[in-house]
Structure 1
């Protein structure tokens, strides 16, 4: 390997987990860094096939390619492309760096000790998962001394000024507002996705969740709703919960299909890129999301939502969910805050009856809830987004 320090070159390593979770966040970070900062970004990904689902232009057979100004390299073992050290090295979500990279870092560290004029290793950061828990403030930015003598810094995204911030592209809210202001955009988007029969007055819910009986309970409730509800599902894990009410096997479902069950119409979505997914969230009246990337994008959509958080041992995910709900509901009227919290908890605990009853208590056109969903992104961004904070952190370090 060759060493080539450059103040304007960063490397990001991402191991794909759960198909779209980690790579979704990492790809947004890489794109925004490349578009808004004078930095050359190289993104190393171990599963290009899964990555290509959210970046259709990506060719999984190529070991190196450029999209949106980002160089995307296949992370193979061993690396097919030589790693050249830059200014910053980010490992996304504690993925284990390749041995070739670690060897290079150690060699640079040792050389810089022997010769002060030698190039120093890049600043090494671990991008952590997003959490609203209070302890994140105390851990954000802390260094960890590795056995090799290198320091690795922990970068925690978060909702307060003492954390690493939230991924949000420049002028995203302005673009969203302009999109939502023109109601024809919604109808045009649905048509482009092959969705038919959705009238402007109909309620539309997007669903991107894990398996849960609570989703089945919601769909059974929607069948008996007073007005038509259109539920938009990508072909994936969410549908596994609905097999008992579907007229065919999940394998037989395909994009563009629709299934009418009373006043519920289930639509099967095609895969879309991240920009298309953002527009889908902007266009729905309510969004059910999972993981981290879609969870944050649902907030930026300024629409009510349910967060289906990834289950962890000893129900630790419920602690993370509660920490977020405490923040999110801070300025909501007490009764509305209670209903929204119980709805989210019931959905995550697979409590079917409780999920259905509290869904009915939340009026999708309830003005306080909609006003709160609109104001929340402005408050949550805390004036400075993650990329801006990250660049400043690197400068200060």
Structure 2
């Protein structure tokens, strides 16, 4: 079937047609977010979605059923189309989502401008808790060709676009965690035998100079820890700390009170269950950062570093909101650990302080999750914006 033809056929049967564009930079966060959004729009909002991605191979890593070489394919009701430099003639959707400041093909924008009824053009921004986000959410930007683009900001307050969350996610997660055998059964399916009495921690992060001090602390703690490390960029740092040969999926290494298991890179629903199975999750970027919050368990965020330290404003803004309601010792412990981790500093002292406040921080993680889940989710907010715009 010719490029885009399958996507056209799928869209033809729907009244409202959405195009989402995603440019994969150097990680899986952008495609992870847009893929989750596309699936939810189809499953819960009864619209047709074409997801245009410029690296189908990266998409196939998080959707193993996908063909990394196909120009257009349907996965879970979404038409996933390869975004080639040589753009084909394509009828634009009724709603066009430009994810994370990627630049639409000029020919596509020209086709948008040529439509008698202009599409709704949305610039979906990165998630941030910074104060200025609410003031910019929903603002229009007139383009020179007569089109109007709107800025759409996800966020943690009611005056933003909300957070990406499927309608049944929290109930499904709570049911999983209430089943004492669900987590252990899931881990065995990944080739990992849970160690009785051990605390389970997942680790998914960028390269980090703070890692050795944290692993040192885990290895000498009174209670045993089982660290689950999916394939990823942090694996080389774990390997260096162990002083071992190249780590591979299925490997298990023990140092003192710490057992390290190397997991395969898993698709999204499995990664959710990994987070649900653990007592503590170290995560990175945007997609896993948010999914860790929906897990209702304590977490440690490795934010994507930006030039001139711009990411620190974003990190501190989130901490300001997330720590509301904590006692002063618990707040100070959490903030110290996150800053040490993101600054590549020794976490020996801050991890010890975190442990002293672990019970309060664990209760707080679930409370924060339920508070955020009480608000309108991102997919619903996008559809409501489109309906109000008509």
Per the TM superposition, whether the score is higher than 0.5 is yes
Q: Tell me the distance in 1 between the aligned counterparts of 2:363 and 2:231.
A: 32
Q: Tell me the distance in 1 between the aligned counterparts of 2:255 and 2:242.
A: 9
- Alpha-carbon offset, residue 242 of structure 1: 3.0
Q: Tell me the distance in 2 between the aligned counterparts of 1:344 and 1:283.
A: 22
Q: Tell me the distance in 2 between the aligned counterparts of 1:62 and 1:187.
A: 36
Residue equivalent to 2:370: 378
1:394 maps to which of 374, 378, 386 = 386
- Alpha-carbon offset, residue 304 of structure 1: 0.4
- Alpha-carbon offset, residue 310 of structure 1: 0.7
Write out per-residue CA displacement over residues 202-223 of structure 1, whole angstroms, 9 at most, x where no aligned residue: 1111011111111111011111
- Alpha-carbon offset, residue 298 of structure 1: 0.4
1:86 maps to which of 73, 93, 110 = 93
Residue equivalent to 1:38: 46
- Alpha-carbon offset, residue 107 of structure 1: 2.3
Q: Secondary structure at the match of 1:124?
A: strand
Superposition CA RMSD, Å: 1.8
Structure 2 alignment gaps of length 5 or more: none
Residue equivalent to 1:280: 274
The answer to whether structure 1 residue 255 and structure 2 residue 249 are counterparts is yes
Q: Tell me the distance in 2 between the aligned counterparts of 1:158 and 1:7.
A: 29
- Whether the 8 Å contact between 1:161 and 1:382 is mirrored in structure 2 is no
Residue equivalent to 2:85: 77
In structure 2, relative to structure 1, the CA distance for the partners of 1:234 and 1:50 (3 Å cut) is same
Residue equivalent to 1:52: 60
The answer to whether structure 1 residue 337 and structure 2 residue 331 are counterparts is yes
- Whether the 8 Å contact between 1:160 and 1:382 is mirrored in structure 2 is no
The answer to whether structure 1 residue 366 and structure 2 residue 358 are counterparts is yes
Residue equivalent to 2:241: 245
Residue equivalent to 2:151: 154
- Alpha-carbon offset, residue 326 of structure 1: 0.7
Structure 1 alignment gaps of length 5 or more: 109-118
Q: Secondary structure at the match of 1:147?
A: coil
Q: Secondary structure at the match of 2:84?
A: coil
Structure 1 runs, 4 residues or longer, greater than 6 Å off: 1-6
- Whether the 8 Å contact between 2:141 and 2:150 is mirrored in structure 1 is yes
Corresponding pairs, count: 381
Q: Tell me the distance in 2 between the aligned counterparts of 1:342 and 1:7.
A: 51
The answer to whether structure 1 residue 225 and structure 2 residue 221 are counterparts is yes
- Alpha-carbon offset, residue 294 of structure 1: 0.3
Write out per-residue CA displacement over residues 23-68 of structure 1, whole angstroms, 9 at most, x where no aligned residue: 0110110011000011011101110111111100000111111111
Write out per-residue CA displacement over residues 80-111 of structure 1, whole angstroms, 9 at most, x where no aligned residue: 5x422221000110111112211212322xxx
- Whether the 8 Å contact between 1:78 and 1:100 is mirrored in structure 2 is no
- Whether the 8 Å contact between 2:21 and 2:51 is mirrored in structure 1 is yes
Residue equivalent to 2:318: 324
2:34 maps to which of 26, 37, 49 = 26
